[in-house]
Amino acid sequence: MWVMFGDFNAVRNPGERCNSKFCPSSALAFNIFIEEADLKDFNMGGEKYTFMSRADAKLSKLDRFLVCSRYLNSFPLCVVTAHPRELSDHIPITLLTAAFDFGSIPFKLFNSWLLSEDFDQVIIDAWNRFVGYGTPDMYLTTKLRFLKDSIKKWRKEVSQKERKELTETKNMVKDLEKLAESRPLTAVEVNIWNIGLKKIMELERLKAMDLKQKARIKWIVDWG
């Protein structure tokens, strides 16, 4: 048996809170429950705190996996990891017993690209810039290939820019969250933090659109 706790005052000691009030009686009751239920708490790798209040940047470790002895004996090498928070006030935590590699994904034209302000101009410029010769069918085939190559080149440049922007924004947000572990954030810092989260949310939304389309394509190929 394993149990995941979250979304309530499930802290075990003062070190699991930062810039927020610690309640000894709640922690004592929680620890007694864990002991009487004969559950084991993992040492969690990755982030230290799993919850951060959007309003005042208070931090707590509210999310955890508790397992029974039988589960631990069956999976002695399982690992709990707390991942970067990014968009949610709670961070994702995982309990893994094996590693997976899904491989690379081939190039496709994705609907999210159509939302870019530059996309239409890329098409227009490539279409007008092409110069070719030959029969009409060969001319059209070559022109479409030139258009595809132009889109791929544009997408590569945009992807590099988006990855850089996402990395820099995530680092900025993470730095502010780490700073919040040592002192309360100022109103300006909280505002910058929220702006960064919104930017991450937008970039991640575009990535989610691509993942959804990839899944649909794979389903059609496998079952269509």
The string of pLDDT tens digits covering residues 145-185 is 888 889 989 988 998 998 899 999 999 999 998 899 889 99
- Which pLDDT does position 187 carry in this prediction? 92
Number of H helices, E strands in the chain: 5, 9
Q: Which long-range contacts (CB under 8 A, 24 or more apart) does 145-148 make?
A: 147/123
Average pLDDT over residues 129-139: 81
- Look-up of token digits 């996402």: 166
Domain extent listing, the chain: 2-96, 111-223
**Would you state the pLDDT for residue 53?**
82
How do residues 22-62 score in pLDDT, each as one tens digit?
A: 888 888 888 898 888 888 888 888 788 888 887 777 888 88
- DSSP-based three-state secondary structure for 95: strand
pTM of the model: 0.47
pLDDT beyond 50 at 120:
yes
Residue 224 has pLDDT above 80, yes or no: no
d(CA 190, CA 180): 10
Give the per-residue pLDDT at 217.
59
HSE on the CB side for 51, CA within 13 Å? Answer: 19
Q: What is the mean pLDDT of residues 82-98?
A: 78
Nearest to 11 by CA among 58, 53, 61: 61
- Rounded to whole angstroms, the Cα distance separating 54 from 47 reads 17
Topology of the domain comprising 2-96: Deoxyribonuclease I; Chain A (3.60.10)
Those residues whose C-beta lies under 8 Å from the C-beta of residue 144, and which sit 6 or more positions away, are: none
Q: Tokens in use for 154? A: 């544009």
Residue 208 pLDDT class (50, 70, 90 cuts): confident
Percent of the chain with pLDDT over 90: 18
